[in-house]
Structure 1
Amino acid sequence: MTLKFVIPEPKARVLFMPTEFFDTLKGMFRSSKNRIVISCLYIGIGELEKELIVSIKNNKHIKNLRVDILLDKQRGTRPEGKLNESSVSVLSDLFSYAGDLNISLFHNPLLGAVLYNLIPYRANEAIGVMHMKVFIGDDRLILSGANLSDSYLRNRQDRYILIENKLLADSVHKIVNCIQNMSFSVNADSSVHWGSDLMNPLVDAHTFREQYYRRIQFVLGQIREDILRHTQERVQSQMSEADSGGCHVPGSHPSTSDREDFFSPLFVKNESILTVELALQSGFSSPPIYDESCMLENMLKNVKKYDQSLIISSGYLNFPEIFLKLFRNIYDNLCFKKGKIRFITASPAANSFFKSKGISYYIPLGYTVSAHMCVEFITKNIVSVFKNLNRRDPLKKKEKVCTDIYLEYHKPSWTFHSKGMWLIDDSFEREVVGSSTSGEDPHVGRNPQMENVPNSLCTSENYEQSEKKKIPLLE
């Protein structure tokens, strides 16, 4: 089950460039008064990453500031560079400045004690990693797929949505804290210890997986109660204003009454709306949590119903079969209507493995082959061809659409990491933003069963009496 946040008159905007992402983070870390929260796979050891850490040190409220940092244990402790630095080592200096600092390292329970001692660094990350990527400064948060390392802050194209909302920030912070309480803790001397009340996953991984499920479900339940209470208070406030004659309680918009998946509340009108739906994917838990997969399936099933255009962006395209079939149904339907479907992915030169040494040299080629196989499956639907033999014009349109369904990102010296889905029509825009890549990665083993991944679905709408105008969320 997902978490839905309805934000009226939202303060939200898209950050378009890595430098804008870096500058925004730097400003948030330097000016926050109450909390700073960082959750990502790892933090790099370069100058830009260290500059972000310095901005936290220079925060004048640092002694009273709560700083929570959550990283993946395998990636966060991997030594790099001539000095064998790691995420933990570059962060450890914060202990001398912050009054309330908590650095946590999540260990994926699929990497049990035996595998942990047998598989070397880098290779053990293929078993599964902590992939939550969110950055919070007070009530502002950035949903992204970027890690805090040099390329992500300089020349690696990603996507970032900045939202200011206390309930959303509090809720995401609760999820991060919950994961932290089920993780290893970093000491001031950079050593790591297990201080959780749960079973250590390196001692009994199966028990930990069961405990993880119960603990995360309990926290998600608390957040749902917070959302319900906040919604009730807002409705009561509007009703009170209406009873006092201060305003008119808006009615529902007739054109959306039949949309059972439309996440905006019916009592809102003449008001900009941003709906953020958060989903968690933890396939390693017992039982597994597949909220993200369910959310995406439900969203894609409604594309055909409402004839929306669908744009998918990912560093590589290697979809599970169920999504390939959904894309093919959408493609067959939209080809004869106004909508379109389009896939955007990295060109071989925009892949981070481009011209690398060893066997990884062939990874970009593998990505390209996988992408073309996906497009072939989606566009070559023989049943649809025979079904529309007598419809010459639609078939011509379908042939034309085939030529621009697949686009590759290429910018000299840049790599591409932007991941998301956009649904667009005349009435509203919806975007899925998360840190998971579309499909199962045959090279690093990142798939729905292994990772700990959050995802979000954003719907924006602005009701106006004359026409609907979209808020600047997806410019």
Structure 2
Amino acid sequence: MAMTPARVLLTGGADQEVISTTVANEYASRDMQFLYDSRPHTPCFMVNGDSVRPLLTPTEFYEEIKVPRYFWDALLAFTRIRTAKKSVTLVALYVGHTENELIQTLADALESNPELEATLLFDALRGTRDSGKGSSASLLLPLVKAHPDRVRVSMYHTPDLSGVLKRVMPPRFNEGIGLQHMKIYTFDDALILSGANLSQDYFTNRQDRYMLIQDKEVTSYFRSLVSTVRSFSYQLKPSTSAQYALELDPHVPDPVKDCRQFRRYGLQRVRSFLKTWSTHRISPLESSCDTALFPLIQMGPLGIRQDERVTLSMLDRSLHHGRVDQGLSHMFITSGYFNFEEQYSQTIVSASTSKVTLIAASPEANGFFKSKGISKYVPDVYTLIERRFFETARKLGNEARVKIEEYRRGGWTYHAKGLWIYPPQSRVPVVSTIGSPNFGYRSLVRDLEAQLFVVTKNPSLQEKLDKELASLRQHTTAVTDATFQAPDRAVANWVKGASRVIRSMF
């Protein structure tokens, strides 16, 4: 079982603890100002860290979405579907076609509150995939029929899947071309950012990350983002000739039939959104709040690369330009899929002024483990990529500084993504990210992604972020040479050849 720095006692007693806290807050202040100064067109929201809370388990995530856990949560305005007064927003890749309880909760809330409006955004490819038992679209259609003026269900379709490619690519495989991948859940002024979708495994035994933020402005930003993407997505409508219809607003170019015009239109809409919110900037130096939130988006198909640039700059700043005179900082990066984009990978594997630990799913914790058909070989592809990374770190003489851990927990899969940065001598992190990106090629180029950089001097939030990481690492084991020598980690030669071609779709 792996341990985080917070579980290692510092020597020197209370005096050392004061030094550690001082150093941590100095780094937090520097990182706040670095992000603020280096991205002049990126919003910066200053909040009290007590309004930010990581959720630790799939069950806690589900209960937060569906209903307040306790009566006093409602009194504290921690409202969810049942107690939302004005709006509910659910954005994910898909909602499971068996999630009748969740949808019934939303239906009951709409019936009991005529002022409530619901906005839902999913991916058109995944959301309409029907295995014979239904789809996201068929599950949600009754809500649209019952409340046509208050329920809006949208389905984004990538412009990268059009023409002949659209006709020949079979369902499931066509999702590798590009998706709506953001995970955003809002309830009036409360926001949950996550990497989790809305299906049974994500509510029970698929470990992800989730962060609850109680702030009107930040929530408004993400609702505005959703509204922007909805404006160039298909709208779910009843149909007299089919089970349902997906219709574009009359002025929106069709992403399948006119992908070039669609890209131009989508880019214009997103740029307008970014311009509107670029003025929402509060300087960390001028604020009495202790936590800075920097929202970022990545929409490769439309040419929006905001998150990529900021993440790369923070990786480079921490891993190559740290103050080694105070000791090495420690960065933890997690992704359900070990498939870092080339620039990310090179920056990480050659870390020079920081330690870095990468956490990914073991083959058994991969969602494709023992799946049917060719997809059962997907864990082998990740094993191969992970091994190449491991060997590169060793060739660079960086095996002592760059470590890998694998999440392994019986009956569970792993889907968490994000990072934590521990300054030198600090037992708690001061920086974390939360959102949907996996640090891979498709996150940068193919999908729509959103995440938040959280930089905090709030002791309580720092402890909570540390506890979140510890809760993940209690189920991880270190990767060594022996890991790849195990018989069950052998990779077929044809997989080795195919991996370089198909890894951009993972």
TM superposition score category, shorter chain reference: 0.7 to 0.9
Q: CA deviation at 1:168?
A: 0.6
Distance 1:469-1:278 versus aligned 2 partners, 3 A rule = closer
Does the Cα contact within 8 Å between 2:190 and 2:219 map onto a contact in 1?
Answer: yes
- Counterpart AA for 2:380: L
Instruction: Report matched runs for 1:289-368 at 5 Å.
Output: 289-303=304-318, 304-306=320-322, 307-330=328-351, 332-334=352-354, 340-368=355-383
User: Is the Cα–Cα contact under 8 Å of residues 325 and 378 in structure 1 kept in the other structure?
Assistant: no
State the AA in 1 paired with 2:89.
Answer: V
Task: Give distance in 2, aligned partners of 1:146 and 1:37.
Answer: 15
Name the residue aligned to 1:337. none
1:61, distance to aligned residue in structure 2 (A) = 4.6
Cα shift at 1:327: 1.1
CA distance in 2, matches of 1:97, 1:11: 35
Once residues 137 and 471 of structure 1 are traced to their aligned partners in structure 2, the CA distance between those partners, rounded to angstroms, is 26
Q: Does 1:176 align with 2:226?
A: yes
Secondary structure of the structure 2 residue equivalent to 1:195: coil
Question: What pairs up with 1:64-75 in 2 under 5 angstroms?
Answer: 64-75=115-126
Contact 2:284 2:292 in 1 (8 A): no
Which of 462, 466, 479 aligns to 1:470? It is 462
Question: What CA distance in whole angstroms lies between the structure 2 residues aligned with 1:316 and 1:118?
Answer: 27
Structure-to-structure mapping, 1:148-167, within 5 angstroms: 148-167=198-217
Corresponding residue for residue 32 of structure 1? 84
Structure 1 position 63, deviation (Å):
2.4
Residue equivalent to 2:414: 416
Rounded to whole Å, the distance in 2 between the matches of 1:275 and 1:172 is: 16
- In structure 2, the CA distance between the partners of 1:132 and 1:13, relative to structure 1 (3 Å rule), is same
Structure 1 residue 91 displacement after superposition: 0.8
1:215 equivalenced with 2:265 (yes/no) = no
**Which consecutive unaligned segments of at least 5 residues does structure 1 have?**
232-263, 335-339, 385-397, 441-445
Q: Deviations over 1:409-465 (max 9, x none)?
A: 11111000001111112386111222121223xxxxx352211111221111138xx
- Aligned to 1:110, the other structure's residue is in SS state coil
User: 1:431 is matched with which residue?
Assistant: 432
Q: Summarize the Cα distance change of 1:206–1:96 in structure 2 as closer, same or farther, 3 Å threshold.
A: closer
Q: C-alpha distance in 2, partners of 1:195/1:472?
A: 44
1:355 aligned counterpart, secondary structure = coil
- 1:341 and 1:428, CA in 2 relative to 1: closer, same or farther beyond 3 A? closer
Q: Shift of residue 37 of structure 1?
A: 0.4
* Partner-residue secondary structure (3-state), 2:331: strand
TM-score computed with the length of structure 1 as normaliser? 0.80
Structure-2-length-normalised TM-score? 0.75
Secondary structure of residue in 2 paired with 1:132: coil
Q: How far did 1:219 drift?
A: 1.2
Residue 279 (structure 1) aligned with residue 296 (structure 2): yes
Asked if structure 1 preserves the Cα contact closer than 8 Å seen for 2:44 and 2:292, the reply is: yes
Deviation sequence 1:51-93 (CA, Å, 0-9, x none): 1111111115542211110111011011024x3x010111111
Does residue 138 in structure 1 map to residue 188 in structure 2?
yes
Cα deviation per residue 1:250-270 (whole Å; 9 max; x = unaligned)? Answer: xxxxxxxxxxxxxx611345x
Give 1:161 deviation, angstroms: 0.4
- The residue correspondences of 1:40-51 to structure 2 (distance < 5 A) are 40-46=92-98, 49-51=99-101
Counterpart residue type for residue 42 of structure 1: Y
Letter in 2 for 1:43: V
Structure 1 residues 345 and 471: CA distance shift in structure 2, 3 A: closer
Question: In structure 2, which of residues 256, 281, 286 is the aligned counterpart of residue 267 of structure 1?
Answer: 286
Change (3 A) 1:186 1:322: same
Instruction: Tell me how far apart the structure 1 counterparts of residues 188 and 120 of structure 2 sit (CA, whole Å).
Output: 14
How far off is 1:42 after superposition?
0.6
Change (3 A) 1:167 1:473: farther
Q: Which has the higher helix share?
A: 2
SS of residue paired to 1:201: coil
- Match in the other structure for 2:499: none
Paired residue for 1:76?
127
CA-based RMSD: 2.1
Aligned length: 400
Contact 1:18 1:154 (8 Å CA) reproduced:
yes
Distance 1:353 1:61 in 2: 41
Runs of 4+ off more than 4 Å? none
Question: Could you tell me which of 161, 164, 180 is aligned with 1:114?
Answer: 164
Shift of 1:184: 0.7
Q: Distance in 1 between matches of 2:146 and 2:357?
A: 48
1:324, 1:377 within 8 Å by CA — same for their partners in 2? no
1: CA distance, partners of 2:455 / 2:119: 29
Question: How high is the sequence identity, in percent, across the aligned residues?
Answer: 31
Q: Counterparts of 1:20 and 1:177 in 2: how far apart (Å)? A: 27
User: 1:209 and 1:312, CA in 2 relative to 1: closer, same or farther beyond 3 A?
Assistant: same
CA shift at 1:10, angstroms? 4.0
Matched residues in 1 for 2:278 and 2:50: separation?
20
Kindly indicate whether the alpha-carbon contact (under 8 Å) linking 1:281 and 1:292 is maintained by their aligned counterparts in 2. Answer: yes
Residue 344 (structure 1) shift: 0.8
